[in-house]
Structure 1
Amino acid sequence: LATTEIDISKVQPGQGIKTQWRKQPVFVRNLTPKEIAEADAVSLGDLRDPETLAQRTKPGHKNWLITLGVCTHLGCVPLGIGDGENKGPYGGYFCPCHGSMYDTAARIRQGPAPKNLMVPDYKFLSPTTVQIG
């Protein structure tokens, strides 16, 4: 498997970056305490694809959410990672193709997408470097 190393040292809380891994977009988001609290407050019963934020992040790094930037409906690239992009009503991501809406933990909340944005295999090599793959 190909791997990609990402420097996350400049990503401030509330910001995100888009990179690539295996020719697919990857979203790396540094969640704020408010975004973490919003994600943790959601009842799993309200989710189409029930997963906690803790299940989607690494222990000790709950603020770092890393997902593929590919809508699980038909593969469009959702908006929300870039400054000023539409994050949708749940504060996460909005897919402009067919209206799927994801929350701050990149979990599907509304629209046709059947699953949450996928979390790729990754590990922290240091506090500021992540290896995907």
Structure 2
Amino acid sequence: MATLEEKYAEQIEADHSLRRRDFINIAAVSFAGVGAVAVALPLVNQMNPPADVLALASIEVDISKIAPGQAIKTSWRKQPVFIRNLTPKEISEANAVPLSELRDPQTLAERTKPGKENWLITLGVCTHLGCVPLGVGEGENRGPFGGYFCPCHGSAYDTAARIRQGPAPLNLMVPDYEFNSDTVVTIG
């Protein structure tokens, strides 16, 4: 028969081996977890957009040099964007058009920001087949409604870039934008 001291020594030895086994199990699981994270991190990271796409996510445009009646063409997300400073005459012409005459009814106020009705910002892509309409550059054909004219299939847009004639089904799209100041606008 074992003495009390021998039983106590056996118990201590059993506890010690149990602790060592637990430590080895915990260490192995931890090592496997760190390995899984090390493998998963590059796989998840490769799904992030590249730096050139992030750089195009939004752009700032200085509009201080665009006189009333003039427009500029810039690029955002590899697509042309038209920024036009409408004259009071162009604004009144756009507001005078009854919505019932429009294929894609929108008021000029719905296409511009409050207090900045003279600034019309649209994507420069015809909604028919994606051609770039004319009407931004000096002397370009602005069509019968004084806005933009698509030379590919003859779609004509008015001064608010709303479709008025031709095969295009929708108005020129207005991207998300906001004014940082009176002279700087952020698109995107």
Structure 1: segments with no counterpart, 5+ residues:
none
Between the aligned residues of both structures, percent identity stands at: 79
User: Which letter maps to 2:176?
Assistant: D
| Alignment of structure 1 residues 1-133 onto 2, 5 Å | 2-133=57-188
- The structure carrying a bigger strand percent of its residues is 1
Which secondary structure does the structure 2 equivalent of 1:67 belong to?
strand
Root-mean-square deviation over aligned CA pairs? 0.6
Structure with higher RCO (Cα < 8 A, 6+ apart)? 1
**Higher alpha-carbon Rg:** 2
TM-score (normalised: structure 1) = 0.99
Structure 2: segments with no counterpart, 5+ residues:
1-53
Q: CA deviation at 1:24?
A: 0.2
Q: What is the number of residues matched between the two proteins? A: 133
TM-score (normalised: structure 2) = 0.70
- Per-residue CA deviations over 1:26-68 (Å, capped at 9, x if unaligned) read 0000000000000000000000000000000000000000000
Shift >3 Å, 4+ stretches? none
- The structure carrying a bigger helix percent of its residues is 2
